[in-house]
Amino acid sequence: MVRKQFFETLPDGRDVHCWRLESADGAGLTVMDLGATILSLEVPDRDGKLADVVLGYDSAATYLSDPHYHGAVIGRFANRIAGARFMLDGRTYVLNANQPPNALHGGRQGFDKRVWSGEACTTSEGDGALFTLDSADGDEGYPGNLRTTVRYVWTEDNRLVIDYAVETDAPTPFNPTQHSYWNLAGAGAPSVLDHVLEVHADHYLPVAPDLIPTGALADVASTPFDFREPKPVGRDIDAPDVQLALGEGYDHCFALNGAGVRKAAALFDPASGRRMTVHTDMPGLQLYSANFLGDKPMGKHGKNYAPRSAVALETQFFPDSPNQPHFPDTILRPGRSFASRTIYAFDCAEI
């Protein structure tokens, strides 16, 4: 079932609408056309009690100044690009350095700040909402006219299926992700450090002090970044490790094992029994332990979001890929459309 409704008029006069995707048991999500942003996602615990497990805000306008990218689709390029520039086919392109000297999450007015065109849709897997955004040549410094569609589908067995499709008329980098912050105990719960995390990756990408990858792939074995066997998020987060110190916790991309749509990660809250399993065909997963969340702006229902009160599991290409040619290729070219799928599946498990 899909329901569309008016949400809010922004200060600049743009109208924002939202779509509710819901299964028969009441589980589901609400997503708005500003940033194609997930506003809430409710799933049951082991006793059948629903809770919203996505952090966010009560007002659409708050998302315009949100420094944390809550729930949004990120584009054109998720994560960081060193020096806010890259070379492509012999030409240097200069981007908006919104995290000086680097570019972060698409620039000052990335896809998260745009109102997408939205409509309800029906697929063989379930009902959904389809969002489309046109990004003009030169947008935030990126070349090419780009059309991006993102489709959210909610299934009766509580899976959120996200499909990206993109076309361009000129070569350009592209790296989408979904930037929701998850706390399976419920949005606003004080910590996610007791959640148990599993990541199917033998290697991660070490970073320099500006959080740009060094270019190396480091073995996770015998490091705090080894989540191949499930362990609490907080077990090693304060270990005396140079990489953890740089990010004040986890803010690193993992090079996922395998190819195609496969299991990438699983997050489990022992208290509620809620479990979220992530499947994707993307090569990387950014683990961010929300190290810099704070009490402003205030979250939904008047709740403050403390540092490490959620975790983001962002499926994506590797950061700074346009400047590191040995990383998986992120360059889209005319006549070669891009498609990608990520699935967040929810169920309950025992301790």
Gyration radius (Cα) of the chain, Å: 19
The residues, ordered by sequence, that sit 6+ positions from 11 with a Cβ below 8 Å of its Cβ are: 61, 64
How many other C-beta atoms can be found within 10 angstroms of the C-beta atom of residue 171?
Answer: 15
Cα(139)–Cα(8) distance, integer angstroms: 26
Order of strands, sheet of 127-135, starting from the edge strand that comes earlier in the sequence: 117-122, 127-135, 146-154, 159-168, 338-348, 274-280, 262-268, 196-199, 231-232
The residues, ordered by sequence, that sit 6+ positions from 126 with a Cβ below 8 Å of its Cβ are: 21, 23, 153, 154, 155, 156, 161
In terms of Cα–Cα distance, which of 216, 286, 284, 288 is closest to 248? 288
8, 140, 198, 314: which one is catalytic?
314
The residues, ordered by sequence, that sit 6+ positions from 174 with a Cβ below 8 Å of its Cβ are: 75, 76, 77, 146, 166, 168, 330, 331, 332, 338
- Active-site residue, 179 included: yes
68, 70, 105, 179: which one is catalytic?
179
Regarding beta strands 312-316 and 331-332, do their DSSP bridges make them parallel or antiparallel, or are they unpaired? unpaired
Report residue 324 as tokens: 């590191």
62 backbone dihedrals φ, ψ, rounded to 5°: -65, -30
User: Catalytic amino acids?
Assistant: 179, 314
